[in-house]
Structures are given as C-alpha cells and as structure tokens.
Chain A
Amino acid sequence: MKIVLTPDWFLGKDILIDSFSFIVLIIFSVLAIRSYKLNKKNRNLLYLGTGFGLIALAQMACIFTKLILYYDIGPAQAIGQAIIIGQFLSSVNIFYYIGFFFHNFLILVGFYIIYRLPQKKMYIGDYALVLYFILLSAILSVYEGFFYFFHLTAFVLLVLIVNNYYGIYKENRFVNTRLLIIAFSILAFAQLVYVLSKVGILFAVANIIELISYVILLFLIIRILKYGEKKKPYGYNIRHADNRSGKKRGH
C-alpha cells in the first residue's frame, strides 16, 4: 500500500527540503529566544521562538517518519513491532501515524501561536476550542482520504498570519516585514497545492514552493544578523529611532 503521496522519483529529495526548512526554523527559534533572554521584557519574543521551535520540531518528526518509511530502518522496525503485539499493523504504519500526527499537530499549533502574537487577551475557553479543532484536523489528516484537512487548516492560519503582518507592514513600511509577508504568502500557496497533491507531480511542486518560502526566510535571517554588524545602525540615539522605516525620506 502506498501511504505517502511523494512520487517515487522525488523520494529522498523531499527529506532534503524538510531538513533545510528545519534548519531555518530552528535558527529563527534560537534567535527569538536569545533576543528574549537579553532583557526578558518582551514575552512575545519568547512565544515567537516557541512557535518557530514547535514548527521545527514538527519538521523533525516529519524527517524521522519519512526516513523510516522510505528506508525502513531496522531499530525503528523492532520498536514498532514491540509496540504492536497483535501485529495487525506493520511497524512502518505505526510510525507513519504517530510521526505525521505530531508533524501536523505541532505545525498547526506553531502557526497558531505566530498568528496570535500581536493580538490581545483571549479567554481560556477560546484556546480550548482552537486546540480541539487543531487536534481534530491533525488526527483526521493522518488518514489518507483526509490528508487535505491539515493543509486547508494550515492555509487558513497562514492567510490570517499574512493578514496580521500586512497590518503591521502598513504601519512600519519595513522591508523585513514585507519579506516576511512574501514568505508566508508563498507558504500559504504551497498548502493549496498540497491539497491537490494526489497528482504526484503537484506534491513535488508544493515541496519546491515551500522551499522557496524557506529560502526567503533564510534571507531574512541573514538580513537581521548582518544589520547588527553595520556601523552606527540607528544613529547615535537608538531610543529615538522608532520611526525608522524602509521608505526613503522625502528630503
């Protein structure tokens, strides 16, 4: 039984793309958490780092699961068989369900955290409701016929994230925020292509679109890191530099 949508000629290459996105996400997470630790005042930095960290973990779960599926690694087989005493599922299948459930769940929670960041307080009941729908989506989409549930949910969350950052961009007109919007928009488009990925070639196309968005995110990281090394970046008074924007001044 074919339990992944990856076309045979693309097997392995998708793991490379996932590994690349894992590296980008983990760098984002570490940067955000290190920034938070600097003065521990802006908790949103910590939440942002957690959001990216969860998505990075999800990519790791995905890479691990695919490695087992594609190459049927021996130790994993043994663990799987130990778990299922009844032997009505193969060891590969149990890893597939567990691995992709964690992948789907963590990515959706990560996107949700990033979406919630700029907003104000929410009631516990709302969190519970969102968590329920994310869980439902993550569980359902593990089954072959419902795989598109995850991508549709991810698409909706990404559209909401893009909408948030567009609001922020309208205020700050900052080049980095524009890059962020482009990267998340491309990622959202990739989710739509994934929905159609029953057609093998589209799965590969969606993967490549996703890769493009992560390349843009990597470019953004490089911009942030390089900016810090520039001499006198804000002028002498950093505390009066809040109005700095990507727009050139008229005079």
Chain B
Amino acid sequence: MDIISDMLTIVQERNGGIKPTHLMYKANLSHNQMKVYLNELIKKNLIEKNAVKNGVRIIITKHGRDFLLQYIRMKEFEKTFGL
C-alpha cells in the first residue's frame, strides 16, 4: 500500500505526466517491481498511460487522486491515535 501511495504521490506531482523510468527512480523501485506495480495501478484505474511523441507518460486518474487523499487521511488518523 505504501509503495502504491508513493507512486501515486509522485505521479500526482507531475501534472503533465511522468516517464516510467523517472517514476521508477523517484519511487526507489527495481525494474521488476515497477512493472508489477504499474500493471496493478492501471488495472485498478488509479493511473493511465498516455502515448506521446517521444514515448509514454503516466498520469493519475480522478479515482487515483481520490484514493491517495483517502490514504493520506488514513495515515494521519493512524498516527493521531497511535494505531
């Protein structure tokens, strides 16, 4: 869950989309991990791939933004109550 939210946070920061390799470096993931998580996120409609002139850009969906907001609130809640 934390890896997924890290990836979503990074993608959200780049409004115009991020290259998969940049996402991999920024999220501290190996190539294999990246592939697995990226597929998972696309399957759950949290992010989508956009084909552009010089390759592929990953962007966050509305569902992804909502999920990230809920997740950050959950973390804040857990920390407040020491759970």
A residues contacting B by CB (< 8 A) are 31-32, 34-35, 38-39, 41-42, 44-45, 48, 117-118, 164-165, 168, 171-172, 174, 176-177, 180, 220, 224-225, 227-229, 231-234, 236-239, 244
Please determine whether A117 and B72 come into contact, CB atoms closer than 8 angstroms: no
CB distance from B31 to the nearest CB of A (A): 18
* Complex CA–CA separation, A227 to B76 (angstroms): 8
Q: Which residue of B lies closest to A168 (CB)?
A: B82
Within 8 A of A (CB), among B66-83: 69-83
Q: Which of B2, B10, B76 has the most A CB atoms < 10 Å from its CB?
A: B76
Known A228-B69, A229-B69: A176·B6 in contact at CB below 8 Å = no
**Inside 8 A of A236's CB, which chain B residues have their CB?**
6, 9-10, 13, 26-27
Q: Is B61 an interface residue (CB 8 A)?
A: no
Q: Which residue of A lies closest to B67 (CB)?
A: A38
**Inside 8 A of A45's CB, which chain B residues have their CB?**
74, 77-78, 83
Q: Is B50 an interface residue (CB 8 A)?
A: no
Residues of B in contact with A, size category: 20 to 34
* Complex CA–CA separation, A168 to B75 (angstroms): 15
Q: Is B3 an interface residue (CB 8 A)?
A: yes
**Inside 8 A of A168's CB, which chain B residues have their CB?**
81-82
**Inside 8 A of B71's CB, which chain A residues have their CB?**
38
Nearest 6 interchain pairs by C-beta: A168-B82, A239-B2, A35-B74, A176-B80, A228-B73, A44-B83
Contacts A174-B80, A238-B6 known; 13 new A-B pairs at CB < 8 A: A38-B71, A39-B74, A42-B78, A171-B82, A225-B73, A227-B72, A227-B76, A234-B72, A236-B13, A237-B27, A238-B2, A238-B72, A239-B6
Q: Is B1 an interface residue (CB 8 A)?
A: yes
* Complex CA–CA separation, A34 to B80 (angstroms): 16
* Complex CA–CA separation, A31 to B70 (angstroms): 10
Please determine whether A220 and B77 come into contact, CB atoms closer than 8 angstroms: no
Please determine whether A39 and B1 come into contact, CB atoms closer than 8 angstroms: yes
* Complex CA–CA separation, A39 to B70 (angstroms): 11
Q: Is B28 an interface residue (CB 8 A)?
A: yes
CB-contact partner of A42 in B2, B28, B83, under 8 A: B83
Q: Which residue of A lies closest to B72 (CB)?
A: A228
* Complex CA–CA separation, A180 to B13 (angstroms): 32
Name 23 A/B residue pairs within 8 A (Cβ), A-sorted.
Answer: A35-B74, A35-B78, A42-B83, A44-B81, A45-B78, A164-B82, A172-B82, A174-B79, A174-B80, A176-B76, A176-B80, A225-B73, A227-B73, A227-B76, A228-B69, A228-B76, A232-B9, A234-B9, A234-B75, A236-B6, A236-B10, A238-B6, A238-B9
CB distance from A8 to the nearest CB of B (A): 40
Q: Which of B1, B79, B80 has the most A CB atoms < 10 Å from its CB?
A: B80
Within 8 A of A (CB), among B22-81: 26-28, 69-81
